[in-house]
Amino acid sequence: MSGTNRGLTTFLELVFPPISNQEAYWFKDEPAADAMRASDFYMIGGKPKSKFANLSACEDTMRVSFDLFIGGELRGQGSIDVDSLEVVQNFEGSKYGVGGSEDAIEVFYEKDEDTLLLERFTTESILWHRSRGLKGLTGLDNYKELFCYDLLYVGIAKEGDSYERLIKNGHHARLDILANEPQRYPGARVTDEIFLFLFRLEPLFVTTFGAGSEIDLEFGYDHKAIVADAEKAFVSLLKPNYNTVKFKQYPKGADGLYDSKLDRYTYSIGEAITFNTPHGKMKGGRDQYLAGMTNEADFIFIDKEKSKLFVACEDFSDD
């Protein structure tokens, strides 16, 4: 080996569970927005209306059981051991309750005549929690096949964060999607079938040095340049319907990584989510210990001349 080779591997990690367009409206200007502000890369996806059914709770064991329906079809079953949830174990009060509907399962307590939430599981957030091995949540062993969406749009906040760009202020693609997307399940509202995914990018730089090569560890790190480049990589290969600009010249670009010191770089989704598009699908993955650093995920590879989507188990082993 001779010379110096600089690489970057970046995975996308959710800063908040997936939320429906309706929930985004409810969360506007609420404390949850603080967590959302950690994102500056986002996706918008669609999925048939999901619901909880056959909810049952045992007061003696504080275990809640449920069925999960997607598009009117029974797709999974699970249970929540409420006493084992971390938020309950850290709760300093003595009394709390559990309630549920087809839209959410809630753990709450009362204080000064107000009802306050300890935890709220929606049909989408419970899959996210299951993928991350939340203590107290069992079942839904097929969560990977259920955590699947049609990818409609990929965007970034060139300045600021995703909350400001996508939720607090009006966003053209979000409005276009609500106006044009059909119902995925009869009787459902489109606003309940459109979901927002707020990601942050987790980069890892790697340099190899050949014999006699100069050691240079200065990458000129620019977070927003990585974000801009990642948007182009995902859009140019997956071609979501509502992205009007497809970045056909990528990897070339004025505000990405084309002019950086990097020789090659990759992007993957560090969550157990699959996104479908008319031009193919991209599967993410998550390791219990290494988070998004896993061979279970498909990844986009770029070497300044071209970009390509590598599919796990087809183009490389997931071992």
Tens digit of pLDDT for each residue in 252-276? 988 999 999 898 999 999 999 999 9
Residue pair 313/306 in contact (Cβ under 8 Å)? The answer is no
Taking only the tens place, the pLDDT of each residue in 162-195 is 999 999 987 899 999 999 999 999 999 999 999 9
Ranges 2-6, 159-163, 242-246: which has the least confidence? 2-6
- Residue 315 covered by a domain: no
- Residue 130 covered by a domain: no
Q: What is the pLDDT of residue 213?
A: 54
Domain match, 58 and 197 both:
no
Domain match, 43 and 178 both:
yes
What is the distance between the alpha carbons of residues 197 and 18, in angstroms, rounded to a whole number? 5
Q: Which carries the bigger pLDDT value, residue 312 or residue 148?
A: 148
Q: 0.85 exceeded by the pTM?
A: yes
Q: Give the burial class of 263: count Cβ atoms within 10 A of its Cβ; 0-12 exposed, 13-18 middle, 19 or more buried.
A: middle
Domain match, 184 and 288 both:
yes
pLDDT at residue 219 is higher than 90 = no
Domain match, 239 and 279 both:
yes
Q: What is the pLDDT of residue 64?
A: 97
pLDDT averaged over every residue in the chain: 92
In the chain, alpha helices (H): 21-27, 33-36, 86-89, 125-131, 143-146, 162, 172-180, 223-238
Q: State the residue for tokens 């119902």.
A: 183
Average pLDDT over residues 98-108: 95
pLDDT at residue 207 is higher than 80 = no
Residue pair 180/241 in contact (Cβ under 8 Å)? The answer is no
Share of the chain above pLDDT 70, in %: 94
Q: How many domains does the chain have?
A: 2
- Residue 135 covered by a domain: no
Residue pair 109/116 in contact (Cβ under 8 Å)? The answer is yes
What are the residues facing 151 on neighbouring strands? 45
pLDDT at residue 210 is higher than 70 = no
Average pLDDT over residues 83-102: 90
Average pLDDT over residues 295-316: 92
Domain match, 106 and 248 both:
no
What is the distance between the alpha carbons of residues 164 and 185, in angstroms, rounded to a whole number? 30
Ranges 110-119, 143-152, 291-300: which has the least confidence? 110-119
Share of the chain above pLDDT 90, in %: 76
- Residue 128 covered by a domain: no
Domain match, 179 and 269 both:
yes
Average pLDDT over residues 300-305: 94
Average pLDDT over residues 270-294: 92
Average pLDDT over residues 48-74: 96
- Residue 139 covered by a domain: no
Domain match, 162 and 30 both:
yes
State which residues form the domain around 109.
53-70+78-121
Strands 4-14 and 280-283: unpaired
- Identify which of 162, 126, 154, 157 has the alpha carbon closest to the alpha carbon of residue 231: 154
- Residue 110 covered by a domain: yes
Helix (H, G, I), strand (E, B) or coil at 248: coil
pLDDT band at 1 (very low <50, low <70, confident <90, very high): very low
